[in-house]
Amino acid sequence: MRRRLRTAAVAAMLAGASAAVLPDAALAHGLVGRQDLPIPRWLFAWAAAVVLVISFVALAVLWPRPRLEHVRERRVLRVPAALEALCGVLGIAGFAAVVYSGFAGTQTATANLAPTVIFVMFWVGLPFATAVLGDVFAAFNPWRAVARGAAWVAGRVAPGRLPEPMPYPSWLGRWPAALGILAFAWVELVYVNRDDPSILAGLALAYAIVQLIGMSVYGIDTWTRRADAFAVYFGLFARLAPLHWRDRTLYRRPPLGGAPQLDVVPGTVAMLCVMIGTTSFDGFSQGALWTGTNGIAPTLQQRFLNLGFSQETALQITFTLGLVFMVGVVAGVYRLGIAGMGSIGGEQQADLARRFVHSLIPIALAYVVAHYFSLLAYQGQAMASLASDPLGDGSDLFGTASATIDYNVISATGVWYVQVAALVLGHAAGLTLAHDRALVVYRRVLDATRSQYWMLAVMVGFTSLGLWLLSASAQ
């Protein structure tokens, strides 16, 4: 990407033209060998119909008493402490391998282990795994493992002499996590050097150091629950999972059952709006409306070029604005729905916004699945060759270095169905959670139902946006 930009800049100078010679900024990143086809019009229409039918059927048939607010968890098994320690060690080893590959390996993005692990396995693969298996990241979280190891050693060496952690400011809530995810999305979607393995490794290391400092000041568990962006991010998805890990014990519960237990501290609404908004921007930024010949991005970029910014800077400012704008759109849609609900009376709007925010978790997951399923299905296969040759220096550790990506493992039609199914299921799950909460917030079922017309409008809005981003009109 950077080379591409440089080349474009040189070409622009050579041409001596005042007209913009804009680099192609359409690609998510250089890892993507195959991009998705837009969903066909008939499927778009059908999915929209499904969404509407589901919504109205849901209004008619959903239960009149809350069912998900206090689900019963059943104990499945208990794991030994040694396994917990082993997972931590594996997490640290994996993190070290990625950082080392990034620094020491080839700087060609597709031939280096680091970019694929970070952008595909970690950022996309983990949410998929988490939604099914529960919060697996908590077990392998490398910086948390380092901190716990250090705390354990310190407890042995100098028992009772460790200072108490400082109290975590309650107003801070999940704001650090929301900003952290926004920063990661910026690196992934805006930063021109996003694919540079050594820069990625440096950023990963810097992130880990910040987390270690945070944990040492505010305590490991408090910091991880509130401010570690990735722990919070995966932890939110884990609330949808039918499996729940707590204190080395595995419980099972109905799917979605963890979401109503969400402790809605400040920054939680922002966190979910960032999650949905950044994924939306990933789709939007690949569309013709954004990158087309007379699209928004080239126009804006030209404005910034005229202000005297360099080609790269102008591009990044443009994309940053787009990213923030999309997050704002998502927050605005949610706020509108909440304002409508507030008109029914009884609750402050800020309270309502917090009370219903857990119903956005399935929407966020649906967006991730719809946008990144194919990346995981195709680029995920590159792990076979990258694991054997992480540095791209021709080594063959496991004999799989020559493995290639089979792009026919799932057809374009199959990808479409997965994308649409994800959005529709996320929509249904979001509606269910909102309905359940409404029965608690509003004492009269009639009020609860009326309030849900507004939530329904919000959900239909998000799902339609998701579908539109997949469709030809956006691409």
Partner 1 sequence: MPRMSLPEYPSPGGGAPGRGTSRAARVGFILGGLAVLLIAFVILRGGDDSGDPSSSSSVQTTAAPQASTGVATQEAQSTGANGDRGAAETGSTSTSARPAPPTEPAPRLVRVVDGQPQGGIKTFSYKKGDQVLLTVESDTADEIHVHGYDLKRNVTAGGSVQFSFKATIEGRFEIELEDAGVQIAMLEVTPS
- Confirm if 269 and 262 have CB atoms less than 8 A apart: no
> Residue 425 Cβ, how far from partner 1 at the closest point, in Å?
14
Nearer to partner 1, 225 or 427 (CB): 225
Instruction: Name the minimum Å distance from CB 104 to partner 1.
Output: 23
Shortest Å distance, C-beta 129 to partner 1: 23
Single-letter residue type at 338 = I
Q: Buried (b) or exposed (e) across 414-426, using 16+ Cβ within 10 A?
A: ebbebbbbbbbeb
Minimum CB distance to partner 1 smaller for 63 or for 398: 63
Nearest partner of 243 among 427, 364, 77, 368, judged by Cα: 77
Q: How far is the CB of 161 from partner 1 (least distance, A)?
A: 29
CB of 462 to partner 1, least distance (A): 20
Question: Helix, strand or coil for residue 402?
Answer: coil
Which residue in the block uniquely carries the two structure tokens 């033209």?
Answer: 17
The CA distance from 159 to 341, in Å, is: 54
- Return the number of the residue (41 or 74) whose C-beta is nearest partner 1: 41
CB of 73 to partner 1, least distance (A): 13
Q: Cβ closer to partner 1: 142 or 295?
A: 295
Which pair of structure tokens corresponds to residue 347?
């609750």
Tokens in use for 186?
Answer: 């910026």
Specify the residue, 57 or 397, whose C-beta has the smaller distance to partner 1. Answer: 57
Closest Cα to residue 221, out of 148, 290, 159?
Answer: 148
In the DSSP assignment, the letter for residue 252 is E
| In the complex, least distance from residue 206 CB atom to partner 1, rounded to whole angstroms | 27
Nearer to partner 1, 200 or 448 (CB): 448
- C-beta separation of 275 from 174 below 8 A: no
Euclidean distance between CA atoms 361 and 438, whole angstroms: 16
Residues 6+ apart with CB under 8 A from 123: 184, 188, 372
Residue 146 or 315 with smaller CB distance to partner 1 = 315
24 — phi, psi (to 5°)? -70, 115
List the beta bridge partners of residue 251: 75, 244
